Amino acid sequence: MDPFFSEWLNLLVRWFHVFAGILWIGSTWYFTWLDRQLQKAPEGVWMVHSGGFYLVEKQANPRVDPGKLHWFRFEALFTWLSGLVLLGIVYYAGGLMEDSAVSPGAAMGSGVALLFVGWLVYDLFWMSLAAKSPVVGAAVSYAALVALAWGLTRLLNGRAAYLHLGAMMGTIMTLNVWLRILPAQKKLVAAIAAGQPPDPLLAGRAKDRSKHNTFIILPAVMTMISNHFPTATYGSEYNWQVFAVLVLVGFAAAKIVRDR
């Protein structure tokens, strides 16, 4: 590919990817904050923005017009798709998978497989009885993520390992939205529209996956910006240990923000 064209393509796709990610992460954290505030003030939350005053309330017995609902879903899809395009045109076509313990083709195949195998393992685990305790589930998930980081840094070069860990976490977040959160929300809306009580189990599952996404966001973003700090992160001889520590820092930061 012509270097001039490649650089412009990289710039435009990355620009789109960052903007879509801002929209997705922003709406995720806004609703996380809003839900927390409504627990403290069930009568509603007053806000002011751009000269307008708003009262937001959580309805116990809503009457839903499905045609007037706004679904926050395409932000996630476009962030993920543009991320995949970047992975292909910048990293795979740019020789990212060289200097791995396996051939570039095998490295690319392993990286792509990881995105979906990672989701499958995560989803099956969190649907199992073993994950009924959030604390136990979080501990097992963290241990599995660190073990995966250890393994990837031995199979792939450090940069590729970090980027694929981030891509896997982004895939988990996106599929949480499209395969677990949105279907549950649609069933809740359909029940309310039919005059039936919404299933609290569906609401709980959707909320749990949304909560997971708020914790995954910070480690995923960290892997993206790690490209700018090779000495401290993927290029370090302790790269998987650094990853493990920074994931904990991200989880702790998410916990603080969620609980404030």
- Going residue by residue through the chain (260 aa), what tens digit of pLDDT does each one get? 677 888 899 899 999 999 999 999 999 999 988 888 888 888 899 999 888 999 998 877 777 777 777 778 899 999 999 999 999 988 888 888 888 889 989 999 999 999 999 999 999 999 997 778 889 999 999 999 999 999 999 999 999 999 999 999 999 999 999 999 999 999 988 888 888 888 888 888 899 999 999 999 999 999 999 989 999 999 999 999 999 999 999 999 999 888 77
> 225-260 burial, b if ≥16 CB within 10 A, otherwise e?
ebeeeeeebbeeeebbebbbebbeebbeebeeeeee
Give the list of residues 6+ apart from residue 110 with CB closer than 8 angstroms, or none. 102, 155, 156
Look-up: residue for tokens 């240990």? 241
Q: What total number of domains does the chain contain?
A: 1
DSSP, collapsed to helix, strand or coil, labels residue 49 as strand
Domain that holds residue 220: 3-259
Distances (CA, A) of 256 to 80, 96, 165, 252, 253: 26, 35, 24, 6, 5
pLDDT number for residue 91: 86
DSSP states of 132-169: SSHHHHHHHHHHHHHHHHHHHHHHS-HHHHHHHHHHHH
Quote the pTM value.
0.93
pLDDT number for residue 1: 65
